[in-house]
A = this chain, B = another copy of it.
Amino acid sequence: MNIVVAQSGGPTCAINASLVGVFRQALKTEEIDAVFGSRCGIEGIIKDDMVDLTRVIRSNEDMELLRQTPSTVLGSCRYKLPMLDEEGADEMYANIFACLDKHRIGAFFYIGGNDSMDTVDKLSKYGLATGSDIRFVGIPKTIDNDLPETDHTPGFGSAAKYVCATVQEIIRDSSVYSIDSVTIIEVMGRHAGWLTASTCMLRVNNEIAPHLIYLPECDFSAEKFLEDVRAERAKHQAVIVAVSEGLEIDGDSARSGAVDNFGHKYLSGIGKALEQLVRDEIGCKVRSVELNVMQRCSSHICSKTDIDEAEQIGAEAVKAAMRGATGVTMVFKRVSDKPYLVNIETADTSLMANKEKFFPRKWINSAGNGISDEAIKYFLPLIQGEVDVFMKNGMPRHFKYSNIPV
């Protein structure tokens, strides 16, 4: 049989490592002939736009380079398949399966987040309903770490490592002047605050900051926030606050009306909004810093644990498909924090599709502005180790899209 792999959703530092995992394992698997890559996620199947990966990834060195190249080498999409019983759905699915059959595809691997698992779920259900023997296997990735069933998601560890390193540098940067200041750092996370919460790890390196950490999992009141900031200002000259982008001030989510294809609001600007609030109500020096896309693409400081695991989970996905699994997504099950040990298993994709896993309330303090030491034990193993980054002319080398023959 042939297989096809695709990448979907927002870019991360680890999504190409999972592609390498699938590719390398496929080369070792006798039943597998060609390995195709679908361009721009499921769109590549719909448009019959696939590429033979052996023409793209030509050597071990290519694999190593791709492992440490951020973003999605095959392109991505935010394409939502219709419900199976929706009007016109049958034609769409029949078209997709015709394309898969045409290329003798026996297994489809989709690397993505909870939206992408929706695609895996629908395709596997259509396949089962129509008697197709194509296997559909999900490979998780998201910097948000918000997928249920899995201990954590590939991409999260590298994002957390970047965020911690950068917040620590911003702490240094904020502490130089003899005047009081407040620095608000906006971290990605629409509904789940995992990445923002991960800044609590700085405590193990003897940082007191961030002094305040706010997640979308808790109600957020402007009045309480100002009270918290005033209390920290009494103790610290340079107050550092970490906030999730998805925070809603007094329940007001109306800051932006635009929505994406999955109905998610495009959020931005909570940092700026809180900066203005502090300026107006407290009147001290204040600035906000948005870590923006850097937190999902800064491969130059990725976590080796994350990249290695991303490759392993890709390889395990191939093994699971060869065992006949379909409608499943690969997951990490943590055995222990110290020594850090995880098993890779499969979970029913329908338990993960379109679902979010929130940061546990038990790890947030009662005031809703700080994170417990228990969370540190969970986070710490995920950011360990550094990848030996290939440099060229003083800059990281990347595997380029242009390497893909059009």
Contact = CB atoms under 8 A, between A and B. Distances in A.
Contacts of A291: 294
Nearest to A183: B293
Q: Is the interface of A mostly helix, strand, loop or mixed?
A: mixed
A254 to B, nearest CB: 19
A308 to B, nearest CB: 14
A77 interface: yes
Given A71-B176, A391-B386, A300 B165 contact: yes
Nearest to A79: B178
Given A176-B72, A292-B290, A298 B396 contact: no
B290 A396 contact: no
19 contacts: A11-B172, A11-B176, A40-B177, A70-B169, A70-B173, A75-B176, A76-B176, A168-B395, A168-B396, A169-B297, A169-B299, A169-B300, A172-B297, A175-B401, A205-B393, A300-B301, A301-B301, A384-B393, A386-B391
A161 B75 CA distance: 27
A394 interface: yes
A398 B172 CA distance: 9
A367 interface: no
Interface string A271-297: 000000000000000010111111011
Interface in A72-88: 72, 75-78
B178 A43 contact: yes
A135 B246 CA distance: 55
A397 B205 contact: yes
Contacts of A297: 169-170, 172-173
Contacts of A173: 11, 70-71, 293, 296-297
Interface in A53-73: 69-72
Contacts of A301: 300-301
Instruction: Rank and list the top 7 A-B pairs by shortest CB-CB distance, nearest first.
Output: A71-B172, A383-B394, A76-B176, A173-B297, A169-B297, A384-B394, A40-B178
Copies per complex of this chain? 2
A166 interface: yes
Q: Which of A11, A78, A296 has most B Cβ within 10 Å?
A: A11
A201 B393 contact: yes
Interface residues on A, range: 35 or more
B77 A178 contact: yes
Nearest to A269: B272
A78 B76 CA distance: 47
Contacts of A397: 205
Contacts of A69: 172
A130 interface: no
A179 to B, nearest CB: 9
Given A75-B177, A301-B300, A169 B393 contact: no
A204 interface: yes
B178 A75 contact: yes
